Structure 1
Amino acid sequence: MKRFTSLESRIDAGAHAVLDRLPASGLYGGLVEFLVFGLKQAWACLFGGAMLALIIATKLYWPDGVALARYDFLFLAALAIQLSMLVFRLETVAEAKVILIFHIVGTLMEIFKTSAGSWIYPEESFFRLGGVPLFSGFMYAAVGSYLARVSRIFDMRYSNYPPLWATALLAAAIYANFFAHHFIVDMRYALFAITALLYLRTTVHYRVFRFRHRMPLLLGFLLVALFIWFAENIGTWSRAWIYPGQHEAWTPVSIQKLGAWYLLMIISFVLVTLVHRPQRYDVSATALKPAAAE
């Protein structure tokens, strides 16, 4: 897995030229690691951040009576962002494939969920399938884009990573439950338990700038799911989509939705591992080894 695109390599070289002059230990060393961590996270969120900024801007400034619907503008803008990121080498072709996979997976779930009344898109649009405007698939794709990019630019490696076949089965079961719980018993708590057992011993090792750090992977899933929940609150506030009970006035999205995003995170992460195979953490750092059997 190539760690940086050509543009990112130039940015990295420029950062080293400046920051390598600072002490590696003590307060300055800690501040450099913290600064670079924040900048890399922002870079990994480039696609999702751009989409969220457009959702907020169109909520505040979209004029009434224009021929182009707000949702259609968001769809066309998402396509333009995607093409620009490829043309200007802000992401790899493999990451674009992840975005496409997530758009398809997300749109299929959106079609079902809106038909079941789980949430709605209150505005009209031309580019839509049933009650689902096509920009919505890019919101799922933004999660996949982030996970693919963050895995690459932080050079993530894993210890005690479970077999890929087991994680694929778990992701398939979670995805099926998003549909099946409308008809049979909701299995999410059993899926939470299986997720915990499968990833309990897994640690992610990631490089920020000079040093490698580590974190339990389950904690990483929770933190990303929490930030997605924050983003969802912004999305519903902007009426990009709304839940039952938000028709008359906006109210915060229930914290219980965090569990759904946590499970969706597992699907997202597993799909990314099909493109960027997880690499085993090697203390000697002498070689890259597959983290799990194919």
Structure 2
Amino acid sequence: MEAGPSRRLTSVEARIDAAAHRVLDLLPQRGLAGALIEFTVFGLKQAWACLFGALLLALIVASHHFWSENAILARYDFLFLAALAVQLGMLAARLETLSEAKVILIFHVVGTVMEVFKTAAGSWVYPEESIFRIGAVPLFSGFMYAAVGSYIARISRIFDMRYTHYPPLWTTVLLSAAIYINFFSHHFTVDVRYGLFAATAVIYLRTTVHYRVFRFHHRMPLLLGFLLVALFIWFAENIATWSRAWIYPSQSHGWAPVSIGKLGAWYLLMIISFVLVTLVHRPRKPAEAPLAMRLEPEAEAPASAA
């Protein structure tokens, strides 16, 4: 994870980080072995950032296979209570920070409001009964949106993300507000999502995200990062609909892959989540790292491990 005074790890992550360094610092730094170590650590940190979402998806898949229709507790109610328990457990075990929990709560509310509207409009349905619900929307659904917020908040911290040419914050807030409004308004007026795609490209075109995996800093265009995360969510959505957590009209007579067109919707929705995270973890420039970290030889200084 992070090294030096800029560390923003939870106490549990700090212990994992120290244990990992005791092993990884002994391994080669250069060549193919060094690259494989960097790649492996990247995967492990991504998995750690996905912890909440992965647990929720595992519960959805497991309950689809093993939940009895005659159970006293409905499957959706179990998923709601289990997701709530996981969230509280992560906070109690200090696997998640309070600031991340705030983002999750906000995105939970944002997602649930949209779910209530979209199900009423017939965009998708939840085919099973439940007690914990608002209208046709079981309350566990909000945690699926919260999982996206949790992931983005955690990678921002775990990878110590910094940005060059980041746009003014007010422009990103206006963009996310316009995206959210269009999710509702396109049912009644013109769908302006292509204009929103263009606006996203213009606002973030020059923005580069800098992140540290283990020994080295890396960077990529932020727009590419948005696309990769949206693609990952689209794959997860296919698993969730296969498990009948919810279904689209095209899946009413049997499961079929989610339309690739939904990738664009997740791309836009993910930007809303990203902007919400930046309201808690304000975007920082690479030069804003503490002096002790800036003077550290990049090739020799261990930074991240788990």
Q: Which residue matches 1:16?
A: 21
Residue 291 of structure 1: aligned partner: none
Gaps of 5+ in 1: 289-294
| Separation of aligned partners in 2, 1:98 and 1:283 | 23
**1-structure distance, mates of 2:178, 2:20:** 43
Which residue in the other structure is 2:213 paired with?
208
Deviations 1:33-59 (A, max 9, x none): 011000000000000000000000001
Give 3-state SS (helix, strand or coil) of 1:23's partner. coil
Where does residue 298 of structure 2 map in the other structure? none
CA distance in 1, matches of 2:170, 2:163: 16
Shift of 1:2: 5.3
- What corresponds to 2:268 in structure 1? 263
SS in 2 for 1:89: coil
Q: Which amino acid is the alignment partner of residue 206 of structure 2?
A: R
CA distance in 2, matches of 1:23, 1:66: 54
Change (3 A) 1:284 1:76: closer
Task: Check if 1:148 corresponds to 2:158.
Answer: no
Structure 1 runs (4+) greater than 2 angstroms displaced: 283-288
Q: Distance in 1 between matches of 2:153 and 2:26?
A: 31
SS in 2 for 1:245: helix
- Of the two structures, which has the highest relative contact order with CA contacts closer than 8 Å and spacing of 6 or more? 2
- Alignment map for 1:97-246 (pairs within 5 Å): 97-246=102-251
What TM-score, normalized by structure 1, do the two folds share? 0.96
Displacement of 1:286 in angstroms is: 3.0
- Partners of 2:18 and 2:290 lie apart in 1 by 21
CA shift in 2, pair 1:284/1:129, >3 Å: closer
1:136-182 per-position Cα deviation (integer Å, ceiling 9, x unaligned): 00000000000000000000000000000000000000000000000
Question: What is the rounded CA distance, in whole Å, between the counterparts of 1:204 and 1:285 in structure 2?
Answer: 18
Q: Which runs of 5+ in 2 are unaligned?
A: 1-5, 294-306
Where does residue 100 of structure 2 map in the other structure? 95
After superposition, the Cα gap between the structure-2 partners of 1:162 and 1:257, relative to the gap in structure 1 and judged at 3 Å, is same
Give matches, 1:20-31, under 5 Å.
Answer: 20-31=25-36
Q: For 1:126, give the aligned amino acid.
A: I
1:44-59 equivalences under 5 Å are: 44-59=49-64
Give 1:64 deviation, angstroms.
Answer: 2.2
| SS of match in other structure, 2:250 | coil
RMSD: 1.3
| Count of residue pairs brought into register by the alignment | 288
